[in-house]
Amino acid sequence: MSTEERRLAGRYALETSIGRGGMGEVWRATDTVLGRSVAVKTIDLRAVPDETGAARFEREARVTAGMSHPNIVTVHDSGVEGDTAYLVMELLPGPSLAERLADGPLPVDEVEAVGSQVAAALEAAHARGLVHRDIKPANIVYAADGRVRVLDFGITQLGEAAGSQALTATHTVMGTAEYLAPEQAMGGRVDGRADLYALGCVLFALLAGRPPFRGPTPVSTMMMHANDPVPDVRELRPDTPAWLAGLVGSLLAKDPADRPDGAAAVVAALEDHVAPGGAAATTVLPVGAGATQRMDPVPAAPPPPVQPTLPPTRPPERRRSSAPLWVLAAVVLLALGLLAWWLLSSRTTTDQPTGTSTVTTTATPTPTTAPTTSAPPPTTASPTPTPTPTADLRQPVADALAAFSAEVAALQQDGALDKDVAKTLDTRARDVEKALRQDDPQAVSAATNALVKEYDNHVQDGSIGPDASSRLDPLVGDLTGAVDAYVAG
């Protein structure tokens, strides 16, 4: 922006850039009418990859301004001037949690306070049907009153409760890889439980000094969210209370249904020092000066990984037999005799000439895995091989397909892939996904071939350039390899 363009709406004088993200740039500015310092977020609408950019920005201004909450940034004004959309907010002195993390993990009591405030902000947003979709340390900043504020509702999705169409469509991945819920990383539709997962990632990072998953690339990080087991934060931060480790573990559950029941439950857990799940996760609070010791009737349970509960075991009781030894010996001999008779009967039955019908009635059914003939050829001696369930081979296909779709979305967002080409590839990918859900190997193979053919055509006509193809070629190879294994299985 040139010097002549550094004033918006005739009153907001932009001074210095204080932050830049995927959705725009934030400036320190002065409101020359009211004579106060403000933060102004701007977006160059010419750089927005689709026509929903201006609508998404206006929606952010409207929904954020409509929420009055001590843990959500205050919005003063918004508008569009030429190709620039702007949002005027309170100027926060900081630092952000990302800046705090640069100096190392936070004290446990501060993590608890920050988590409670962010959860309260999410509770207010979710009550209005809003999903933030990009909860991360950089979007949580300290205000002058000592509280933290949640920023940047720029990629908010309006949920069904708000009765309006979502601005971010299914199969489009938006957010920051280290803090994405598995369902969001896979490009699916999300709800408020995705924000709770992101909060779990934030709490983990504040305690451990790093997020729970971090791969060499954004795509590999997203795959770790979807597939890798959740680490125990106490391995990196041993002084983490058991109840807090349990809360973090529950927030990071892969299945949204296994996460806490809403942001309000997280606020209550952080205030009461009890992990979701009830008294079994409650621990004894330390006694401070003038504090009352709180004793819980049930001791604290360790956080995930949870060991399976086994039934109590004890050595079997030795019971003195009331029968004489000769009776036991007779029973054993009788059993051996019956077994020998059964073997002879079986041999006699299978040695009957072809065409002779023999009906044999026995008290004991023939085991299905035992040999049933001694005459060649031994057609029934070997059990029939059990085919490998195709369901076991579907997961690599799903993982490879998700990685391909995520990279397509990332290339479109970076401007390296035309939106029409990305839309076509996404449609083909969804055909593969549909066939995979139906567990139809032939349909999966056909849909994958159609996707690969579509991809090759775009590479040949130049609509997918060398940079994009160099990133997509390995993923296409992974997908076709996984599909071949699935069909063969």
Which residues have a Cβ under 8 Å from the Cβ of 135 and sit 6 or more positions away? 118, 122, 150, 179, 195, 198, 199, 202
Cα 104 from Cα 205, distance rounded (Å) = 10
Cα 58 from Cα 64, distance rounded (Å) = 10
| Residue 99, H or E segment | helix 97-101
201, 210, 240, 303, 310 from 236: Cα distances, Å: 14, 9, 9, 14, 29
Q: How many CB atoms lie within 10 A of CB 259?
A: 23
CB 78 within 8 A of CB 61: yes
* Residue 138, CA atoms < 13 Å, CB-side half-sphere: 13
Q: 377: exposed, middle or buried (C-beta count within 10 Å: 0-12, 13-18, 19+)?
A: exposed
**Which one of the listed residues 134, 152, 232, 426 is annotated catalytic?**
134
Q: 375: exposed, middle or buried (C-beta count within 10 Å: 0-12, 13-18, 19+)?
A: exposed
Counting runs of H as helices and runs of E as strands, what totals does the chain give? Answer: 13, 10
78 residue type, one letter: S
Is 134 annotated in the active site? yes
Which residues have a Cβ under 8 Å from the Cβ of 59 and sit 6 or more positions away? 156, 158, 167
Cα 319 from Cα 69, distance rounded (Å) = 71
Cα 45 from Cα 281, distance rounded (Å) = 49
Q: How many CB atoms lie within 10 A of CB 379?
A: 9
Which residues have a Cβ under 8 Å from the Cβ of 395 and sit 6 or more positions away? none
Cα 109 from Cα 12, distance rounded (Å) = 39
| Residue 27, H or E segment | strand 24-31
Say how many residues make up the chain: 489
Strands (E), 92-247: 130-131, 140-142, 148-150, 157-158
Q: How many CB atoms lie within 10 A of CB 25?
A: 16
Q: Which residues are catalytic?
A: 134
